[in-house]
């Protein structure tokens, strides 16, 4: 157990604020620039205001990504923007000329931080999603197309979100068995679902046309619409997985909506406007939607202190039951 495990949630927030305040001093920002937390998930994200300007500061979670892995994320993010695939945030160099700042404060674990120029735009509304999902499908395909052609830097390091990374030996987000509100009956049902997914994904394979470097969190919260421009943010989970997993992440937390088939169709239409997608691949999308859903059950269980996990909680696990039953009926 680390020392931070004994702290209250407020004490952890106070520590993070100390790190954020220290990080600001490593950049050439206007005097009096202030960091205000706007999101706490894997990392802590702050809006930085000063001198009429605005930036986004990300303080990385302790022990989640190495400095090399963060640098790899930023390399792809910058290449996507430079090559015109999609608009991505622009990292800001610190006074030392580096875009990753390493903070070592007395009594605290070492942390990495990255500052980005603030990107204007608004997250698409959940009230009308068909248009945004088509735009999202096209943007995702452009990113996949770029990843297939891009020559990655030496020592490129990112997580692998294959079956082992999600549900097997590694479990980056913990075990779905630790999800909120699980009982013996749900556990048995979820295990049957996981077993079926494993079997189908083994048959689906990891050929280069189906598996590669992807964003891994292409949900609407990470999409900004700025007039006619679509921007993609938060590449913190980017890594190696099936390309179709990106499509499933677009449905994060709304997998149970009755219009999901229409949203998938809109995403596929947008995707096919850029890249081909076989009928066989399209038919496997429900497997990846189920994959993401159970991965989020695990995430909620292992991130119970976050506002997002609290807002989902037991009802999210309960509503997963019907999705599992439907998936088993469809594919068993």
What ranges do the domains of the chain cover? 3-117, 130-331
Listed residue (61, 35, 30) closest to 46, CA to CA = 35
Encoded tokens for 177? 């068995």
Sign of the torsion formed by the C-alpha atoms of 159, 309, 88 and 273 = positive
Give the gyration radius of the chain's Cα atoms. 20
pTM for this model (two decimals): 0.94
- Number of Cβ atoms within 10 Å of the Cβ of 33: 18
Question: Which ranges of the chain have pLDDT less than 50?
Answer: 1-2
Model pLDDT, residue 5: 62
Model pLDDT, residue 4: 58
Model pLDDT, residue 1: 41
DSSP letter for 150, please.
Answer: -
Model pLDDT, residue 69: 98
Listed residue (66, 65, 58) closest to 233, CA to CA = 58
CATH of domain 130-331: 3.90.1200.10
- Is there a contact between 94 and 26 (Cβ–Cβ < 8 Å)? yes
Model pLDDT, residue 186: 97
Percent helix, percent strand, percent coil in the chain, to nearest 5: 45, 15, 35
CATH class of this structure's domain 3-117: alpha beta
Cα distance between residue 138 and residue 285, in whole Å: 16
Encoded tokens for 313? 């909680």
Model pLDDT, residue 251: 96
Strand order in the sheet with 159-160: 159-160, 239-242, 211-214
pLDDT tens digits for 95-116?
A: 999 999 999 999 889 999 999 9
Model pLDDT, residue 72: 98
- Buried b / exposed e across 303-324, counting CB within 10 Å, b at 16+? beebebbeebbeebbeebeebb
């Amino acid at each position: 157990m680390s020392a931070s495990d004994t702290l209250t949630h407020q004490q952890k927030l106070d520590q993070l604020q100390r790190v954020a305040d220290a990080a600001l001093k490593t950049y050439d920002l206007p005097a009096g620039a202030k960091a205000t937390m706007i999101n706490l998930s894997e990392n802590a994200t702050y809006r930085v205001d000063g001198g009429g300007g605005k930036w986004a500061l990300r303080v990385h979670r302790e022990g989640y990504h190495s400095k090399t892995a963060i640098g790899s994320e930023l390399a792809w993010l910058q290449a996507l923007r430079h090559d015109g695939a999609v608009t991505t945030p622009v990292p800001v160099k610190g006074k030392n000329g580096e875009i990753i700042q390493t903070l070592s404060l007395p009594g605290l674990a070492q942390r990495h931080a990255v500052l980005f120029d603030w990107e204007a735009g608004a997250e698409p509304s959940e009230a009308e999603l068909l248009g945004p999902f088509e735009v999202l499908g096209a943007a995702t395909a452009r990113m996949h197309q770029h990843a297939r052609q891009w020559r990655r830097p030496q020592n490129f390091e990112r997580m692998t979100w294959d079956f082992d990374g999600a549900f097997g030996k590694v479990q980056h987000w913990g075990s779905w068995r630790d999800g909120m509100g699980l009982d013996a009956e749900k556990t048995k049902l979820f295990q049957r679902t996981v077993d079926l997914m494993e079997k189908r994904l083994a048959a689906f394979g990891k050929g280069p046309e189906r598996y590669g470097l992807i964003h891994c969190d292409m949900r609407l919260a990470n999409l900004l619409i700025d007039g006619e421009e679509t921007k993609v943010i938060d590449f913190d989970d980017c890594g190696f997985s099936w390309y179709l997993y990106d499509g499933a992440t677009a449905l994060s937390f709304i997998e149970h909506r009755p219009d999901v088939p229409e949203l998938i169709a809109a995403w596929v239409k947008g995707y096919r406007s850029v890249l081909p997608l076989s009928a066989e691949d399209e038919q496997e999308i429900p497997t990846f939607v189920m994959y993401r859903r159970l991965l989020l059950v695990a995430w909620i269980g292992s991130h119970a202190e976050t506002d997002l996990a609290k807002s989902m909680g037991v009802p999210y696990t309960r509503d997963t039951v019907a999705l599992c039953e439907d998936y088993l009926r469809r594919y068993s």
